[in-house]
Homo-oligomer: A and B are copies of this chain.
Amino acid sequence: MTDSAGAPASAGPGEHPDTKERLLEATLRLFAEGGLQGTSMRAVTQAAGTSVSAANYHFGSKEAMLRAALRLRAEPLNQLRIDALEEVVAGAPRPSVEAVVGAFLRPVFEVRAASAGQGELGRNFAARLYMEPEASVSQIRHEVFEPVNECFRAALARALPGVGSDTVALGQRLSVAVLVHVVSNTSASGGDDLPQPPVDAFIAFVAAGIRALAEDPDATESAPAAGDAS
């Protein structure tokens, strides 16, 4: 909505990165390193080789610029996961839990592996996007990931016929939990450079956990018993 009318010198057909594009790229990179409050307009615009005024001209505010950058980067991954999930559901009327969980988790690893070559843009970025507690980021995260989560729940319900919807929802949430930790524990969180286990380990963990929830719905719904049954 900004490159509509009066952009005579920068609205090329897509050849060289103009100022707006450079700003988005720099925003992503610096946000990935420092989070929202840890990233200043000055740092971003300096990294983009322009000025604060240019950024405010194109986006209006710091938050708007961040939102644009986050959506730009997160939605392709978003679509990748939705496609994978729909493919699993379309391929089998009753897919395995592993297949569904794999469709949910694998694209994240693929994108991380792909962006590992072009610097660490995408590494910390996913962690920041998932973990930043700032309200604006949290809102974007919800907007972008809620369709995926819904798609995941639908696929999971297919894989687990007869299981309650709240159990399915809990399984989805805990899948995200594992995903978040995976994504954060390699770069942003503890400063540790832990070894990265293969994707299948995480899929096996999550699938077994979800099956445990499905097999014991009593624990999911309400469990006042078994306090100290040692």
Residues of A at the B interface (CB closer than 8 Å) are 35, 37-38, 88, 91-92, 99, 127-128, 131-135, 138-139, 141-142, 166, 170-171, 173-174, 176-178, 180-182, 184-185, 188-192, 194-195, 197-213, 216, 219-220, 222-224, 226, 230
CB neighbours (8 Å) of A178 from chain B are 174, 177-178
Complex: A165 Cα to B16 Cα, angstroms: 50
Q: Is the CB of B142 within 8 A of A190?
A: yes
Q: A213 contacts B223, CB within 8 Å?
A: no
Q: How far is the CB of A101 from chain B (nearest CB, A)?
A: 11
Question: When chains A and B are docked, how far (Å) is the Cα of A204 from the Cα of B204?
Answer: 15
> Does B213 lie within 8 Å of A205, measured CB to CB?
yes
- Determine the distance from Cα of A198 to Cα of B174 in the docked complex, in whole angstroms: 14
State A221–B124 Cα separation when bound (angstroms): 24
**A212 touches which of B176, B188, B205 (Cβ 8 Å):** B205
Query: CB distance B201 to A207 under 8 Å?
Result: no
Given the complex, which residues of B lie within 8 Å of A173, measured CB to CB? Answer: 181, 185, 194
